[in-house]
Amino acid sequence: MNLKSLLKTGALCTCLAITSSTFFSVVATSALTRNTPSYNLYVPRVGGNAYSNPAAKVSAESAVNNNTSNGGGKTLYSTIDFGTSNVSGEIKTTTGSRVIIPYNSGQNISGKSYRLMMETSVFEAATIQSQGTWSPDLAPK
């Protein structure tokens, strides 16, 4: 069968419509997938901070930090930053903790890229390694 006869029967148009709707549903699903990057940071002593790689936000939910390890079992502080601006409060983060990080009012905007910032206390005398995963969007329940 050639192209001309396929067009007359409508078979090609049906095939294109199915392919096109399948493509758009795959694109729409991929675009709304929550980012959950891992981090392995060395956070400097005396109130120092370190940043994760940026991740794109896809909803109006709070952020989440799933910490798996802080060196020496130390306590660090998690915040969310947009560029160099802090857009959340500081949340105390201990080894193995899952902390929810609410955004400041009007700061949780879908489509923007945010970074997790980990910070030591001003009294901390050592650099602390911190590992885990995080997301600018809280996982749905």
Quick check: helix, strand or coil at residue 59? coil
90 and 108 both lie in a single domain: yes
Structural domain count, the chain: 2
pLDDT in tens, the chain (141 residues): 554 554 455 544 444 444 444 433 333 333 456 678 899 999 999 999 999 999 999 988 899 999 999 999 999 999 999 988 999 999 999 999 999 999 999 898 889 999 999 999 999 999 999 999 999 998 654
Residue 125 φ/ψ, nearest 5 degrees: -95, -5
Q: Locate tokens 């390694």: which residue? A: 129
Q: φ and ψ at 30, to 5 degrees?
A: -65, -40
Q: Say yes or no: 75 and 113 in one domain.
A: yes
> Whole-angstrom Cα distance, residue 57 to residue 78?
17
Tokens of 17: 């419509």
Check whether residue 16 and residue 44 sit in a common domain: no
Shared domain for 120 and 68, answered yes or no, is yes
Domain limits for position 106: 38-135
**In angstroms, rounded to a whole number, what is the distance separating the alpha carbons of residues 55 and 48?**
22
Dihedral over Cα of 97, 57, 101, 73: its sign? positive
For residue 61, give the CATH number of its domain.
2.60.120
Please give the model's pTM, rounded to 2 decimal places. 0.73
